[in-house]
Chains A and B, each alone.
Chain A
């Protein structure tokens, strides 16, 4: 939770004047200001450029359909609300602005001139919530197909697929294919210049190099990439809408599938927000177990990344080795959680079970086994001449650019900024562990590789500390909202039994409020911005994923390079399409 910053309040009050409609206290203590639509652009410019220790990163931008909400005490009237999250590295703090909008034709001015990264966020918000961004250069749907009717995250849009009865008859298939036809002029691209005709190459939506269902249209001059237009939304699983019909507890398995390579790290991100809302303190043992499992999954994630990356740049064997080592990590995960990829093992207030008897040995074997393997990988993959030739200087960014575009995680660290949310915003007791933050220098594909390999060593170091210092005590908090409630406590009297029954069957009721919980996931900063309306389900669940901004940066990284370099960039950035489209 953030500390209150009075000077900031004053500065914003002075700048906004009467345009400041209200300040809203939130559970996460992130300063939240309601600003009129006319003034929001000016204010964002102010906090980005003029304030001291400015908010340089547009962390997230989204919208809320407020029409069904009952707990809005102290907030201005609003049918739709545009929500801006900013982040300041100088202050190590978040900031939130909200703009109230009417039901009829809700619109706000675009901020793409302030942050180019706002482009996709605005298109996404238009697509899913139906808020217009006046002045946006090309406000078309980002996630849903172009001919989709309605805005899915509005409360009156159907949620279930069975309601819609979707199908793909031949006729429809042809129409949809037609829609996917790429029109360069639409994107402001020329078909030719200076006597050269550009080639437009359609990479994807199904291509082995894109690591999933992603489409990128490339504008090529010979083999040189002039520009690229990523087309996403093929992997949209409506994770945000699903939350609105699941209980707080039964949404947990869905989080696993947001970044499907990182398992419990997703649970952690979601819970870091829910537990703030519920006000649950996590017992020490549960915290350490969580840290240990998160680091195990971080290593498992990096193994997939390493194997597929090296395969992308032409090394065929490493993937067999790294996947084998991933199996070793999964062997432990399975012994502890019972599952491999989607463990769904954390719970509100702790974990699903205590650690099984004999868990230390599994980890000790792993800790002894892995370091020489990592050395070997470094020697054979990263120090390989061909690998270097394919990745050094490819896909470079600077720290400023990275922040401007919302890059986080290992990719940001590869540019030379040692920023890790485990240290900057410690959660689950990460401040109690010793580990280093590996950084790179050039922000190219090669540095992204070295940073991640070193990160695996650091994760192993954290796991080692967990194994050696695992505290005793309960693995789940004794708290009325800890779900499912600890069983021994339920058999005292009829009251506790009823409470148990309700919590298990209907789910816990979380007090009204809003909280953003953000953590350092394996790919960068993953945050859940949850709104509770005092019921058994979230009113709104906004997932800020790291891969989304990374994907948006792609054209920036690949301009002027060749198609084969693009594949090396894809591999190095480490994204998962489920994490991009949600």
Chain B
């Protein structure tokens, strides 16, 4: 969807230059889009998570809501207490066998369209807990949209996961109603992040030495890799 808008301070200048062609003012006041795109855009920018947590990872998920990380910047701070109002369930933690009926039931209670983020090694693949009381990854019984790795992932990683999900949701095409257009969901195909980011990562030549806690050195290492 193409966007056009004036900057907040640009209005006066433009007026004084008398640049207001009918075309310009129309573009400044309307957004033209296909309804489908508009709905996808709206969905993408207001993904509301379900207030759901299982273990350690949930603490980092909660941290991403607080001021330093502030997930509200991406429209995902509206934590819902009931699955029926939520768009995404973040499986933040270990998928315990005894808890899994409840996980599955809660997912089933969510209304479509609904998405799943597997947060942390435990939810992705069970990480370090290959043990008798834990199901080996939540994708054994739920369809996962985005995997966020780490043990626990930093709040930043969760937010990156959210952005990836947004990209996915924005490019998904769903029927507007059961009487309009073709039915079924069109899913975009995404390459693995490893393929996208690998080349850049391999170029990194300088890591922050672990023996220094000073900020300057950290920044130096950072700049050298730019």
On A, residues with C-beta under 8 Å from B are 143-145, 152, 157-164, 166-170, 172-173, 176-177, 180, 205-206, 208, 212-213, 233-238, 241-242, 253-254, 257, 260-261, 304, 319-320, 323-324, 326-327, 335-336, 338, 340-342, 353-359, 361-362, 577-578
In the bound complex, CA of A212 to CA of B130 (Å): 21
Q: How far is the CB of A311 from chain B (nearest CB, A)?
A: 10
Identify which of A234, A241, A260, A357 contacts B211 (C-beta below 8 A): A357
Identify which of A157, A163, A233, A361 contacts B98 (C-beta below 8 A): A233
- Cβ–Cβ contact B55 & A212, under 8 A: yes
In the assembled complex, which residues on chain B have CB atoms less than 8 Å from the CB atom of A578? 55-56
Q: How far is the CB of A367 from chain B (nearest CB, A)?
A: 15
In the assembled complex, which residues on chain A have CB atoms less than 8 Å from the CB atom of B60? 340-341
In the assembled complex, which residues on chain A have CB atoms less than 8 Å from the CB atom of B140? 166-168
- Cβ–Cβ contact B66 & A323, under 8 A: yes
- Cβ–Cβ contact B135 & A167, under 8 A: yes
- Cβ–Cβ contact B154 & A340, under 8 A: yes
- Residue ID in chain A nearest B211 by CB atoms: A356
- Cβ–Cβ contact B213 & A324, under 8 A: no
Compute the total of residue contacts between A and B using a CB distance below 8 Å.
159
- Cβ–Cβ contact A168 & B141, under 8 A: yes
8 contacts between A and B (CB under 8 A): A160-B131, A166-B135, A168-B104, A235-B94, A237-B94, A241-B132, A327-B68, A356-B212
In the assembled complex, which residues on chain B have CB atoms less than 8 Å from the CB atom of A166? 97, 134-136, 140
Identify which of A167, A235, A261 contacts B59 (C-beta below 8 A): A261
In the assembled complex, which residues on chain A have CB atoms less than 8 Å from the CB atom of B103? 168
Q: B63 an interface residue at 8 Å Cβ cutoff?
A: yes
- Cβ–Cβ contact A241 & B131, under 8 A: yes
In the bound complex, CA of A530 to CA of B3 (Å): 65
A324-B68, A357-B211 given; A212·B132 CB < 8 A: no
Q: How far is the CB of B121 from chain A (nearest CB, A)?
A: 11
In the bound complex, CA of A323 to CA of B155 (Å): 12
Q: Lowest 5 CB-CB distances: which A-B pairs, in order?
A: A238-B131, A260-B56, A323-B66, A358-B214, A335-B213
In the assembled complex, which residues on chain B have CB atoms less than 8 Å from the CB atom of A340? 60, 152, 154
Q: How far is the CB of B56 from chain A (nearest CB, A)?
A: 4
- Cβ–Cβ contact B59 & A157, under 8 A: no
Q: B110 an interface residue at 8 Å Cβ cutoff?
A: no
Q: B52 an interface residue at 8 Å Cβ cutoff?
A: yes
Additional 8 contacts, C-beta under 8 A, given A205-B102, A208-B81, A235-B99: A152-B132, A160-B132, A166-B97, A213-B96, A237-B55, A237-B133, A254-B128, A340-B152
Q: How far is the CB of A159 from chain B (nearest CB, A)?
A: 6
- Cβ–Cβ contact B132 & A161, under 8 A: yes
In the bound complex, CA of A233 to CA of B98 (Å): 7
- Cβ–Cβ contact B132 & A164, under 8 A: yes
Q: Which of B89-138 contact A (CB under 8 A)?
A: 94, 96-106, 126, 128-136
In the assembled complex, which residues on chain B have CB atoms less than 8 Å from the CB atom of A205? 99, 102
Query: Which of A158, A160, A168, A233 has its CB near the most chain B CB atoms (within 10 A)?
Result: A168
- Residue ID in chain A nearest B126 by CB atoms: A161
In the bound complex, CA of A163 to CA of B106 (Å): 27
Q: How far is the CB of B61 from chain A (nearest CB, A)?
A: 12
A257-B56, A342-B56 given; A168·B100 CB < 8 A: yes
Write the B131-153 contact mask toward A (1 if CB under 8 angstroms, else 0). Answer: 11111100011000000000110
Q: How far is the CB of A568 from chain B (nearest CB, A)?
A: 19
- Residue ID in chain B nearest A178 by CB atoms: B101
- Cβ–Cβ contact A342 & B131, under 8 A: no
- Cβ–Cβ contact B59 & A260, under 8 A: yes
Q: B46 an interface residue at 8 Å Cβ cutoff?
A: no
Q: How far is the CB of A385 from chain B (nearest CB, A)?
A: 25
- Cβ–Cβ contact B59 & A304, under 8 A: yes
In the assembled complex, which residues on chain B have CB atoms less than 8 Å from the CB atom of A172? 101
In the bound complex, CA of A342 to CA of B151 (Å): 8
Q: How far is the CB of B73 from chain A (nearest CB, A)?
A: 15
Q: B54 an interface residue at 8 Å Cβ cutoff?
A: yes
Q: Which of B7-23 contact A (CB under 8 A)?
A: none
Identify which of A323, A335, A359 contacts B63 (C-beta below 8 A): A323
In the assembled complex, which residues on chain A have CB atoms less than 8 Å from the CB atom of B52? 206
Q: Which of B149-200 contact A (CB under 8 A)?
A: 151-152, 154
Q: How far is the CB of B156 from chain A (nearest CB, A)?
A: 11
- Cβ–Cβ contact B136 & A162, under 8 A: yes
Identify which of B132, B136, B213 contacts A356 (C-beta below 8 A): B213
Identify which of A160, A162, A177, A208 contacts B51 (C-beta below 8 A): A208
A157-B132, A161-B136, A206-B106 given; A167·B98 CB < 8 A: no
- Cβ–Cβ contact A356 & B210, under 8 A: yes
Q: How far is the CB of B88 from chain A (nearest CB, A)?
A: 16
- Cβ–Cβ contact A159 & B213, under 8 A: no
In the assembled complex, which residues on chain A have CB atoms less than 8 Å from the CB atom of B130? 160-162
Query: Which of B60, B99, B129, B212 has its CB near the most chain A CB atoms (within 10 A)?
Result: B99
- Cβ–Cβ contact B66 & A324, under 8 A: yes
In the bound complex, CA of A163 to CA of B140 (Å): 15
Q: B67 an interface residue at 8 Å Cβ cutoff?
A: yes
Q: B221 an interface residue at 8 Å Cβ cutoff?
A: no
Q: How far is the CB of A166 from chain B (nearest CB, A)?
A: 5
In the assembled complex, which residues on chain B have CB atoms less than 8 Å from the CB atom of A237? 55, 94, 96, 129, 131, 133-134
